Each structure stands twice: as structure tokens, then as C-alpha cells.
Structure 1
Amino acid sequence: MKDTNILAIDLAKNVFQVCKRDPKGKVLFNRELSRAKLKEMLVKQPRSLVAMEACGSAQYWARLARALGHEVKVISARTVKPFQTKQKTDRNDALAIAIAASQEHIHGVRVQSAEEQALQSLERARHLAKTHQIAQSNQIRGLLGEFGIIVPPSLSQLRKHIPFILEDAENSLPQSFRETLNYLWQHLLQQIEHVAILERQLEGAVKYDTTCQKLMKLEGVGPIGALGLAVRLGQGENFTNGREASANIGLTPKQHSSGGKERIGHISKRHADKRLRSTLFQGALSVITQVSKRPARTSKERWLQALVERRGKKIAAVAFANKTVRTAYAILKNDTEYQPISLA
């Protein structure tokens, strides 16, 4: 859209900075707008390129602008940063977003539908509940260790030992700590039930999602991995090829090439979807564990066994996760089913 205006929005909760540039790069205005005024402006403005950073509420504003007929470009904050000059102010931030959006080689992140965002929110809630559950169980175990009582790791061991510890009158625990321990234990039981409810909701949502069911046929991809791939890749419309999709998740090595010499490094530690990458990596490790115990049944398993012997399990797991993302991209892009090639 070289012949259209750019509306760059520096997002916030109540006060938004909007910078409007014409196709020649001239700034037409750069001013603050309230939430109501911003919605009114998006309605009245002719079809434009609406750009914003990928941050809180960006998906909502992107869907709204697209519904009003605008083209939308949601850009990573790390990508916008080099275009920021002078001091950090709302005016300069909005101008930097406008300049970054005008660059053809800079791609935006995918805009999710409301249904996809609801599924992602459910997974985020489950992840946070699981984190709190682990933290609470570790605190109980650590506090008991200060009194010389060691409980083996795992929730099943806590369920087995805590009732006896609370009832044992000879373990020299002060009464005040027994009351504290009982409260922490009851709180942990509530957290366990909370996690179980969210996991049932997530499994039910994935069960009736046709895209997730397609992706779960891939080796090492469960409900969490399928949901992450479906939300991240969509129908593949935001990526040119499978390698680009894999690089977006952080499963391709970084390059530092110069003078015609290619230098391939490690996978990125910053520019990645770390949660999805970790899920795919763990799934790949489980596949490697299974394949290592029996003969290969498919051509992919034979390739994986050879790679494990040559490079080791961890590097093979990253390569397998990379192949999983590329295969998922092809499935979503071409609307096909996964069919592994069996060995004769």
C-alpha cells in the first residue's frame, strides 16, 4: 500500500498517541487521542495502513481496524526500537512505528481471531495456575526441610506424607507452624483442583477444534503443542515458507555471515516463542526416547535415529522440532492431513 496513509498508534490504556504520515513520508499530525476519539478516527479515516507495536491490547485494536476496512501491521517492539531517535516520548514512539511500518522488508506478526485468542487465553491461564501449584508445593517442601522433615518431590508424595506430618505429635513441629502448614496444604489442594479444571476445559476445546486435531497427528505434538502451532501459524498466510515459520518460533540457527563466508551459530535465546519451542522440544525428546527402544517404522524415524547417533539427543530434538513446525506449516497452508511414509 505505497499510495495510502500510515496511521501509527502508540498503544496505552486510556491515552493513545497517533502519528499520521502520507505516502511521501510527510507527517500530517502526531497527537494524543482518548479511547473514544481513537475509535471515532478509525471510523472516519479513509482506508489506511494502521500500524502498532505487538503489546497488550494490540490484537483487539488490530481486529477493530481490520473490521473497519484498514490494512493492519502489528510489529514487534524489538523491530521498532532501531527506528526510534532522540529521547523516548510518546510522539517519538509513534513516529518510529510509522517509519518501521513503511519499510517493505519488515513483516508484522499475525493477527488472531477472537476465538483463537480465547483458546490462547485458556492456555495462559492453565500455565500460570500450574506455575503457582509448583511454587506452592516447593514452598511446603522447603519449609518442612527447615524442620528436618524431607518429603520426596512430586504431588503424590505430598499427598501421602502431609496428613501424617500434621497428625504426628512427636515430630516437634510448633503448633503455630502446624496451623500454617495446614493452611498451605489446603491452598495447594485448591490449586490442584484449579489446574485440573482448566486442563479439562483445554482438552475439551482442543478436541472440537479441527485444526488442532490435524496437528495432533504429528509425532510429539499434544494438545498444548497443537494449540500453540494453530495460533502461531494460522493458515500459513503470514509466512513465505516453512523455514520462515520455524525461524519465527526460534528453531533455526542464527547466522553471522560476511564476505561470502557463512557462519551458523546456535538457536536464538531472545527472538523466539520460548513457550511453544519448549513444548515442541519436550515432545521431540519423548519421541526420541520411544524410537531409541525399537526399530524405525517410518522414514522420519529412520532419519531421527541416524541423527541421534551422529549429533546426540538434544541437537536431534531441536532438528525434529524444526521439522515438526515445517510439516505443520505445510499441513495448514495446503489444508492436508499428515501421512507419515512407512518403511517397506
Structure 2
Amino acid sequence: MDRIARIGVDLAKNVMQLHGVDAAERVVVRKAVSRDKFLEWFANRERCVIAMEACSSAHFWARRLREMGHDVRLIPPQFAAPYRKGGARVKNDALDAEAICEAASRPQMRYVPIKTAAQQGVLVLHRVRLGLVEERTALVNRLRGLLAEFGVFLPQGINRFRAGFVEAVEDGSNELPGLTRTALLRGWARFSEIEGEIKWYDAQIAQHAREDHNARRVVEMFGVGLLTASAATATVGDARQFRNGRQFAAWLGLVPKQNSSGGKDRLGRVTKQGNEYLRTLLFQCARVTVTAARRRKDRLSRWIAALSERVGHGKALVAVANKHARVLWAILAKGERFNPDYIDMRRAENDALPRSVTH
């Protein structure tokens, strides 16, 4: 077999599809390998570039292949899809592996950093907690809806549900049958159990945020708590993969969509691409920040308050979330500390120059 220079791998649960080319871009291998034989197949090969989509189990396989000395690269799925022959209408494992191999040949291709086992371990806490929160929300909605069938109406909000559910079920003046009351109280017991599980995960995540030196600096940001700090440090890893804060904000989907042509800039809604969980947390932090900005006197808070009055609450939330993303990048990539009165001296000097000098 000719020496493999680059190989694309389409990962799956049981069978991995391989597509390899040599230095002259000639196809030298096209085959399927079982999961049990996957690492063994690469162990007998010389060092080469191995490209995979950043999907389930990709980081695990990448770590193992990197230990063998291979150059492993993870490609976002949306970047590999355009290289698939036949487009969206034709799809199989062999075409996917070939598209991944072709995408990895592009000199300007962007890759996903390989996460460590420790990073993935922290993210497990966040994902399980998120699932429990979703389960709790579904259970609360179900119990509230069942009570409404008997004319018992509880106000919306998790705190109001906690305060009024048991009293509403045990109220003898309503027409709830005895067995129904028992069933609803069992639902309340399940709700309490989920609440206890969420508190345990909150405590573990808070402990990680307090022990991680990057997370401790992130917590200093205005409006950012332990949950967001832990998620940011575990998700991003090495923030130096982004050239600047603007690129990091774009990766999180906090920049407007562009439909620009002919010298005309047309901007739409935010793209909502990238990591949905981290973007959601930054939006929640933005809500707290915008609400509390009117009570603070630092430079950042004054800017947020003025922005909210000028463009409205909704647009201000997006702008503040974008600002948080850029500050987060500066903290993680440059090791800086959060300063609400920070002034960019280079921009201030340019603004002070006459227009004929700056343009």
C-alpha cells in the first residue's frame, strides 16, 4: 500500500468508514473498519493526518490516535458537508469520509480543539444538570396542567409552584378525588427528588469554578456566576484558538447574519450558531447585567444603561451578551482581569486625532 498522507474518518457506533489519499491526492484506501479494530488499524500505520467530524466520541478517538503520534484534526460538521459529492440529497458513510478528507486538505479550514478528559468530565456535570432542569420543567407543567383540569390554577413560576402546590392538593374544598391527590403528591415527591439532584450538581459545578484559576477570574465579570464560569472554561479550553474577541463572539452565534452584496451591508438577526448552552448562559448573564446596570456607576454600567435606553431592552441584551463574550475571551486568552472601568487607549487616541489623520 502506498504511504497515506491524509485520511478522513466517518465515525459511527460500530463501523468506521475510512478514506485515505497519498501526497499526490490519489486514493489509496477506502474501507470500513469495525470499532474493535479501529485503533489497531492505525497502530500499524506511519504518522499521517487524520480528520474526523467533531461529533459524539470524536474527542476520545482523537486523544487515543494522538497518543500514537498521528496528527488528528476535528472538523465542524457544517464545514465538511459542502464537500460531499451529491450534496444534501445523496449521503452515505463512504461519501462522508471522502468529504471529510477533502475538507481537511483546505489550507484555511478551521478545526475544533481536542478536549481533555477533564474538560469533558466537567461538561458531563453541566449536561446531566441541564437534562434534570428540563425534566423538572416538564414535570411542573404536567402537574400544573393536571390541576387545571379540576379548576385548581397555580400561577406560573417555579417559586410559586413550590409555595402553593402541596397546599392546593391538600385543600379539601376542591373536587380532587382521593386517588388523584395521592398521584399528584407522588409527582411532588418526584419533583423534590429532582430538586435535590440539581442542588448536588450545582454544588459540584460551583466547586470546579472555585478551584479552576481561569474560572475564578471569569467570576469577577459583572453579572457572571459560577455556573457560567465553569461552563466557559470547560467548553472553550484554550481561547487562543480565536484571534480576537470578535471571532469568539461569532463562534458563539452572537453576531448578526450577513446578506451583503454589491457594497451594501445587510445585517439580520443573530446567527445562533456555535455552542447553544454557553450562549444561553451568556444571555442569562446579560439579563442580570442590564437590570443591575442602572444601580451601578462604573463606566461599563453607564454604557449599558445608555444603550438600553437608546435601542431598547431586547437589543441591549444581545449587545451585552456579545460584550460578555469578548471580555470572556480577553480573560481566557490573555490572562487579563475584569475591569468595569477599562478604556481601550488605542481607540481613545484614534478618536482624539483629527479626521484627516484617522481616515
In the alignment, which of 166, 191, 196 is matched to residue 193 of structure 1? 196
Please state how far the C-alpha of 1:254 moved relative to its aligned partner.
Answer: 1.9
1:231 aligns with 2:234: yes
Contact kept in structure 1, 2:4 and 2:28, CA below 8 Å: no
Alignment check: 8 A CA contact 2:331 2:338 kept: yes
The one-letter code sitting in structure 1 at the alignment partner of 2:335 is D
Compute the displacement of 1:341 (Å): 2.3
The alignment's TM-score, normalised by the length of structure 2, stands at 0.88
Pair 1:106 & 2:133 matched = no
Judge conservation of contact 1:9–1:94 (CA < 8 Å) in 2.
yes
Deviation at 1:214, TM superposition (A): 1.0
Structure 1 runs of 4+ off > 4 angstroms? none
Identity over aligned residues, as a percent? 34
**1:1-344 alignment to 2 at 5 Å?**
5-86=5-86, 87-269=90-272, 271-294=273-296, 296-297=297-298, 299-341=299-341
How far the C-alpha of 1:241 sits from its partner, in A, is 1.9
**1:180 is aligned with what amino acid?**
A
Q: What is the alpha-carbon distance in structure 2 between the residues aligned to residue 129 and residue 284 of structure 1?
A: 24
Q: Give per-residue Cα distances to partners, 1:241-294, cap 9 Å, x unaligned.
A: 22111100011122222223322222114x232221121112112111111245
Gaps of 5+ in 2: 344-359
Give 3-state SS (helix, strand or coil) of 1:50's partner. strand
CA offsets 1:95-131 (integer angstroms, 9 cap, x no match): 0110111112220122111111111110111111011
Secondary structure in 2 aligned to 1:337?
Answer: coil
Residue ranges of structure 1 left out of the alignment (5+ in a row): none
CA distance in 1, matches of 2:57, 2:72: 14
The separation in 1 between residues aligned to 2:172 and 2:44, in whole angstroms, is 74
* Post-superposition offset of 1:342: 6.8
Q: Quick one: distance in 1 between partners of 2:119 and 2:154?
A: 41
Give the TM-score of the pair, scaled to structure 1: 0.92
Distance 1:126 1:42, change over 3 A: same
Partner Cα distance (1:90, 1:210) in 2: 42
Q: Which amino acid aligns with 1:289?
A: T
Q: State the Cα distance separating 1:141 from its structure 2 match.
A: 0.7
RMSD of aligned alpha carbons: 2.0
Distance 1:281 1:314 in 2: 11
Asked if 1 retains the 8 angstrom alpha-carbon contact of 2:170 and 2:181, the reply is no
Supply the distance in 1 between the matched residues of 2:32 and 2:94 (Cα, whole angstroms): 9
Q: Distance in 2 between matches of 1:129 and 1:52?
A: 31
How many matched pairs?
338
Query: Partner letter of residue 330 of structure 1?
Result: A
- Give me the whole-angstrom Cα distance separating, in 1, the residues matched to 2:168 and 2:261: 64
- 1:228-249 superposed Cα distances (whole Å, 9 cap, x missing partner): 3213332223222221111000
Contact kept in structure 2, 1:19 and 1:29, CA below 8 Å:
yes
Q: Which amino acid aligns with 1:8?
A: G
Shift of 1:207: 1.4
In structure 2, the CA distance between the partners of 1:154 and 1:29, relative to structure 1 (3 Å rule), is: same
SS, match of residue 9 in structure 2: strand
- Give the distance between the partners of 1:338 and 1:33, measured in 2 at CA: 50
Q: How far is 1:156 from its partner?
A: 4.1
Q: 1:4: how far off?
A: 7.3
For 2:126, give the aligned amino acid: E
Name the CA distance, whole Å, in 1 between partners of 2:293 and 2:303.
Answer: 11
SS of match in other structure, 1:74: strand
1:146-187 Cα deviation digits (max 9, x unpaired): 100112234443344333344344422123322321221111
Cα shift at 1:314: 2.0
Aligned counterparts of 2:301 and 2:245: Cα–Cα separation in 1: 20
Residues in 2 aligned to 1:163 and 1:110: alpha-carbon distance in whole angstroms: 49
**Structure 2: distance between partners of 1:333 and 1:251:** 19
Bigger mean CA offset, 280-289 vs 168-177? 168-177
SS at match of 1:237: helix
* Counterpart code for 2:68: L
The one-letter amino acid paired with 1:95 is: E
